[in-house]
Amino acid sequence: MNAAALAALRERLERFHALSKAAEVLHWDMETRMPRPGAASRALQCGAVARAAHEILCAPETRGLVDELGPALSDPGDESEPAALWRWAERETARRARLPAALVEETSRATARAQDVWVEARRRSDFAMFLPELSCVLELKREAARALDDGGDPYDGWLAEFEPGMRAADADRLFAELEPGLAEITARAIARPRRERHPALTGFFAIERQRGLGEAAARLIGFDFSRGLLDESAHPFTSAPALGDVRITTRYDERDPFSNIFTVLHEAGHGLYEQGIDPALADGPLCAGGTMSLHESQSRLWENAIGRGREFWTAFLPRLREAFPSAAGASLDDVLAAVNSARPSLIRVEADELTYGQHVLLRYGLERRLLSGDLRPADLPEAWNAGMRERLGLTPPDDARGVLQDVHWSAGLFGYFPTYLIGNMISIQLYAAALKDRPEIPERLSRGDASPLRGWLRDKVHRHGRRLAAEQVVARACGGPISSRPYLEYLRAKHGA
């Protein structure tokens, strides 16, 4: 192997990675602290950085180094860091070279503008205000899909951005296996008489006290605040500019302290993944989660399998009572009933773990129709509301609680939504494997010690970053491929009785 060529490729990829992470900081600031009058200039800045990063990756010099190193590093059985770096570079240079630099720059500008408008449109519940920006972003993403089209499903190009190696047909197969059982369990669960939330868990919960409660939840599962921070945004998200700089956000509801707690657990799950990557991979493109479905498996595992469990609340209920003494009248069982109640709701990020899947399937179907042209952006609110009625028996009373609730389409993240549901599947497979390997996990969690589970996940998932594909991680940790069956069995056992 040519060591000089490898060093030159590594240097180019590190420059690309540095610019990509600089873009993350720009977007973080835009969504948390930036004054709105700065939005137009920020869009130009984001576009310039995106184009500069794209041009480094797609330069003839970069591709030349990839081709030169191919004979030495292309063995699929080679799991060394240089071979993993080469595989990433070989795939991404080939894929991104099909996207014109001007398209990349304009898409970054358009999504920055759209995100700013989306925040205000959501506040006003005014889809018409957002429609021109959405139409612009969608057309740019369609142009990208056409450039990436290899004769298969056009959605493949969108999905590959978040789930390399997976095709739309793979997602369709998993969802086709899942959907009938999910629909059956959901229908039975929501038909049961509803147990109302204990009065001690209703009322007013001051945001100032909720902030400390959210931080306590993140600390309990092991989020390292010496290398991270917690802030507030219109739509919760995680950003990881560096191994030593992992940022998560939440949002607050004065009527419901659980909304913040589960949001923080979700985002801290993402954060733990980023904080757990092997330091040897720092500052290069392998220093990131393997795929978005793996990333979402971590957030959903901590949010649901752990955060809605008896062991977590055995440890955390005293914190809730300390922050809000009025909650002292509620027992552990009252809290568990409140956080595990399955009932249709309008907002995806606040949905219970059972009905959540219907939210994702709705968005996935709408994305497929938008890409094909079967659904016009102007008709999206009507299609959204019809889908909500069909899947959950609810009609959103306004756009803010309907089509405008998610940030993804304003950010150009078409193809992201399927990873949430695939992540749910993986989360249960991983947790079952962890319990088999470390049976002490539940008892330690009940004492407020998440280190056995966190350590298992760090070894089996986190440390690999992008060095291993999602299929490899799941197969090694769980002994088999990604499957919907364990997830359905989990839901049936918990919500089917």
Q: Are 477 and 426 in contact (CB under 8 A)?
A: no
Q: What's the maximum distance between 2 C-alpha atoms anywhere in the chain?
A: 69
317-334 as b/e: b if 16+ CB within 10 A: bebbbebbeebeebeeeb
Residue type, 2: N
Q: Which of 31, 105, 161, 267 is catalytic?
A: 267
Q: Are 246 and 240 in contact (CB under 8 A)?
A: yes
Cβ count within 10 A of residue 79: 13
Coil, strand or helix at 247: strand
Contacts of 109 (CB under 8 A, 6+ apart): 43, 44, 46, 47
Residue type, 20: S
Alpha helices in 249-355 (DSSP H): 257-275, 292-300, 310-323, 332-340
Residue with tokens 């498996």: 297
Q: Are 412 and 109 in contact (CB under 8 A)?
A: no
Residue type, 153: D
Q: Is 184 a catalytic residue?
A: no
Q: Are 283 and 240 in contact (CB under 8 A)?
A: no
For the chain, the first-to-last Cα distance in angstroms comes to 60
Sort 22 into a burial class: Cβ within 10 Å, 0-12 / 13-18 / 19+.
middle
Nearest to 269 by CA among 405, 32, 474, 453: 453
> Two tokens at 483?
């499957």
Sort 440 into a burial class: Cβ within 10 Å, 0-12 / 13-18 / 19+.
exposed
Alpha helices in 161-291 (DSSP H): 168-191, 207-221, 257-275
Q: Which H or E run contains 117?
A: helix 101-124
Coil, strand or helix at 488: helix
Coil, strand or helix at 353: coil
Q: For residues 109 and 64, give the distance between their C-alpha atoms in angstroms, rounded to a whole number.
A: 30
DSSP 437: H
Which residues are designated catalytic? 267
